[in-house]
Amino acid sequence: MQIRPGSLLIAHPAHAHAQDREQVVYITESNSYSTVGLALNTASDYDLRDLLLEQGIDFSEANTLYTGGDYNRSALVMLHTDEWYSSNTMQIHNNFSISSDHLMMEKLEMGNTPEWYRIFIGWTAWDSQDIEHQLKCNKPKWLLLANPSHVLIELADDELWNNAIAEYSQDVFSNYI
């Protein structure tokens, strides 16, 4: 069981920590020291338009701002389809990239948007040994979906966890049939 960029961590239905319940995390980086990702279905209390207006960016499109996690909550990160890029864009896997720079916001303001995107404040991170333990312990806190479908990642946040559990279940059972 290897955590790779592009995979999903899905909060275990019975054993997840209370703060992680029904959370789905898209992994953006993973190495021998740490694993980093974005919580896909945690809407923030902030309004994206108001936050960008404070930065002098007039963004008229209605869009939910998500809390990617507790680390670096002052940073805006955009997960998006990989046909679009900015000056600080990193391709992840499976047709998705992340961007985090001022130019991406200027491009959005001008109407230059990716086919699909979601904007986050902060990200989630674990020590690699810690997340491995949470996956492999007697009562695992997370389920790992190595190759999630493109459709799953783009689902609305209120549909994501249930559909991620269903896709994970299909993936597990397909190995036994």
Q: How far, CA to CA in Å, does 163 sit from each of 58, 160, 167? A: 34, 5, 6
**Burial grade of 97 (CB within 10 A; 0-12, 13-18, 19 or more):** buried
How open is the CA angle 35-89-55, to the nearest 5 degrees?
100
**88-112 pLDDT, tens per residue?**
999 998 789 999 988 888 888 888 9
Q: Which domains does the chain have, with CATH numbers?
A: 8-174 (3.40.1740.10)
Give the whole-angstrom CA distance, residue 69 versus residue 148: 20
Return the percentage of the chain with pLDDT > 70, whole number.
97
Alpha helices in the chain (DSSP H): 48-54, 102-109, 128-136, 150-153, 157-174
Which pLDDT score, from 0 to 100, does residue 57 have? Answer: 74
What does DSSP assign to residue 86? -
Which pLDDT score, from 0 to 100, does residue 177 have? Answer: 64
Give me 109's structure tokens.
């303001």
Which pTM does this prediction carry? Answer: 0.92
Give the whole-angstrom CA distance, residue 21 versus residue 100: 27
**143-169 pLDDT, tens per residue?**
999 999 999 999 998 999 999 999 999
N residues, the chain: 177
- The number of beta carbons lying within 10 Å of the beta carbon of residue 140 is 15
Single out the residue of 171, 143, 166, 103 nearest to residue 3, CA to CA: 143
Single out the residue of 21, 16, 154 nearest to residue 95, CA to CA: 154
How open is the CA angle 113-119-120, to the nearest 5 degrees?
165
Give the whole-angstrom CA distance, residue 74 versus residue 157: 22
Q: Is 120 helix (H, G, I), strand (E, B) or coil?
A: strand
